[in-house]
């Protein structure tokens, strides 16, 4: 299998690394406007060939991933149309789908384009932050062109699944409306909260100093690329404005209930949102699901985390992730440990309890 990448940033680099991990024999060719990135990817063995332009080397690719900003995708589509083979499937990783599908239709590429949006990312950007596990267990939305043969859609869907992601097929209109609600508007809300605190904070900066826990959690995404989110807001403006209007109505209702001391209405609001949010963890699949995880309290002293890791290592228990919990309002314990499977979690629970650790069985 030969796979091409136009752009090796956070998403493109992560998908390329995931492919290299899953299929070491795959041939990966990539173009990137920054030569240093290609040099690094070659040195790391992530790609096999660096392309300094859109040339015939992309012609025999099975899949080509467009991983550039939305505003530049159109020009790359035109170049690729002139070199790609008849069997090649084009895909992208953009957060909005309407514009790219319109361009695909204009260029008469609807028979070979499957739009894509991995619902994963980070506030960090660039190839240097790419990881082969970024899209693992994340929804990966696919929006096939209307003329793509069903067998090619199925094959690409299975390819995405082989990388550890969870493919879901939608129309591009459905995608843009859904992501406006669960991705784009939340980013607007996060940015608004940060700017509000900036404007309300006094000269002493107390708000910024003590901001922690929930505030940091819900505003973390505000550290993402401003240019990227400018593009997203402009590209999906209709859907974002529609969802924003609904959110504003909810805020207005909240304000009315608070100002009038309507305790029944407030309880109803908070109960409904808690019930709905708690239901996310009960889904059978998806990025927000119950994970094999433990929490425990440790002493605030040098070597405490190393001691826990040593205990697990001596019992030959592999951990997937370990980290400090900064917000105790919603979690138990100050140390969170994620495992690869439930059996490892149960074994770790027994071992840590035997060592008199204060463990919370979540």
Cβ neighbours for 233, distance < 8 A, ≥ 6 positions apart = 184, 188, 240
Closest CA to 30 of 62, 59, 60, 54: 54
List CB contacts of 140: < 8 A, sequence separation 6 or more: 116, 117, 118, 119, 160, 165, 166, 167, 168
Q: pLDDT value at position 333? A: 55
pLDDT tens for 306-360 read: 888 899 999 999 888 887 765 444 445 578 888 888 888 899 999 998 888 888 7
Equal CATH topology for 2-170 and 176-259: no
Does residue 359 contact residue 353 with C-beta atoms inside 8 Å?
Answer: yes
Class in CATH terms, 176-259: mainly alpha
Q: 210-214, 275-279, 339-343 — which is least confidently predicted?
A: 210-214
**pLDDT tens-digit profile of 237-260?**
999 999 999 999 999 999 999 999
Residue 285 has pLDDT above 80, yes or no: no
* pTM for this model (two decimals): 0.77
12 burial level (CB within 10 Å; 0-12, 13-18, 19+): buried
Task: Identify the pLDDT of residue 215.
Answer: 82
Compute the average pLDDT of residues 149-163: 96
CA 43 to CA 63: how far, in whole Å? 23
Structure tokens at 346: 């149960």
Report the interhelical angle of 70-81 vs 98-106 (nearest 10°). 20
CATH architecture of 293-360: 2-Layer Sandwich (3.30)
Nearest to 33 by CA among 69, 57, 81, 82: 69
Round to whole Å and give the CA distance between 73 and 211. 39
Kindly indicate the confidence band of residue 293, based on its pLDDT and cuts at 50, 70 and 90.
Answer: confident
What pLDDT is attached to residue 326? 57
pLDDT of residue 330: 44
The residue among 4, 14, 8, 234 whose CA lies nearest residue 122 is: 14
199 against 137, higher pLDDT:
199
> Is pLDDT larger for residue 145 or for residue 124?
145
Going by pLDDT thresholds of 50, 70 and 90, the confidence category of residue 281 is low
Q: Is the pLDDT of residue 105 over 90?
A: yes
How many other CB atoms are there within 10 angstroms of residue 138's CB atom? 19
Contact (Cβ atoms closer than 8 angstroms) between residue 163 and residue 18? yes
Q: Is residue 361 scored above 90 in pLDDT?
A: no
- The fold of 2-170 is Rossmann fold (3.40.50)
Domain ranges of the chain: 2-170, 176-259, 293-360
- By C-alpha distance, which of 44, 40, 39, 103 is closest to 68? 103
Residues 6+ apart with CB under 8 A from 125: 9, 10, 224, 225, 228
Q: Which residue has the tokens 């499937």?
A: 89
| Whether the Cβ atoms of residue 112 and residue 31 lie closer than 8 Å to each other | no
Residue 282 has pLDDT above 50, yes or no: no
Read off the pLDDT of residues 59-76 as tens digits, 9 standing for 90 and up: 999 999 999 987 788 889
Distance between CA atoms of residues 138 and 119, nearest Å: 6
- Calculate the CA 131 to chain-centre distance: 12
Residue that has been written with the tokens 């917000």 in this structure: 327
């Amino acid at each position: 299998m030969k796979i091409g990448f136009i752009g090796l940033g956070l998403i493109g680099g992560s998908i390329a690394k995931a492919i290299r991990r899953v299929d070491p024999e795959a041939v990966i060719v990539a173009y990137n406007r920054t030569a240093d990135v290609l040099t690094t990817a070659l040195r790391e063995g992530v790609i096999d060939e660096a392309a300094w332009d859109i040339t015939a080397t992309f012609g025999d690719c099975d899949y080509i991933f467009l991983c550039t900003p939305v505003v530049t995708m159109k020009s790359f589509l035109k170049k690729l149309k002139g070199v790609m083979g008849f069997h090649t499937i084009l895909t992208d990783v953009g957060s909005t789908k309407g514009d790219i599908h319109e361009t695909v239709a204009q260029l008469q590429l609807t028979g070979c384009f499957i739009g894509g949006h991995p619902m994963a990312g980070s506030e960090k950007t660039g190839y240097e932050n790419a990881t082969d596990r970024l899209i693992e267990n994340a929804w990966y939305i696919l929006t096939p062109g209307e003329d793509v043969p069903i067998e090619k859609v199925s094959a690409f869907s299975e390819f995405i699944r082989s990388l550890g992601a969870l493919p879901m097929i939608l129309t591009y209109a459905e995608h843009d409306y859904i992501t406006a609600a669960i991705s784009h508007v939340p980013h607007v809300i996060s940015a608004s909260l940060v700017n509000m605190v900036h404007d309300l904070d006094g000269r002493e900066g107390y708000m910024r100093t003590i901001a922690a826990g929930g505030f940091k959690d819900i505003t973390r995404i505000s550290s993402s690329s401003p240019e990227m989110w400018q593009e997203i807001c402009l590209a999906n403006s209709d859907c974002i404005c529609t969802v924003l209007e609904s959110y504003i109505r909810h805020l207005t209702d909240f304000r009315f209930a608070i100002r009038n001391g309507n305790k029944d209405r407030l309880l109803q609001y908070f109960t409904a949102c808690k019930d709905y949010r708690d239901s996310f963890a009960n889904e059978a699949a998806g990025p927000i699901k119950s994970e094999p995880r433990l929490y425990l309290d440790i002493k605030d002293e040098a070597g405490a985390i190393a001691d826990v890791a040593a205990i697990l290592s001596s019992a030959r228990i592999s951990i997937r992730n370990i980290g400090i919990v900064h917000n105790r309002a919603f979690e138990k314990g100050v140390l969170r440990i994620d495992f690869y499977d439930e059996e490892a979690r149960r074994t770790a629970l027994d071992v840590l309890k035997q060592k008199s650790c204060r463990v919370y069985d979540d």
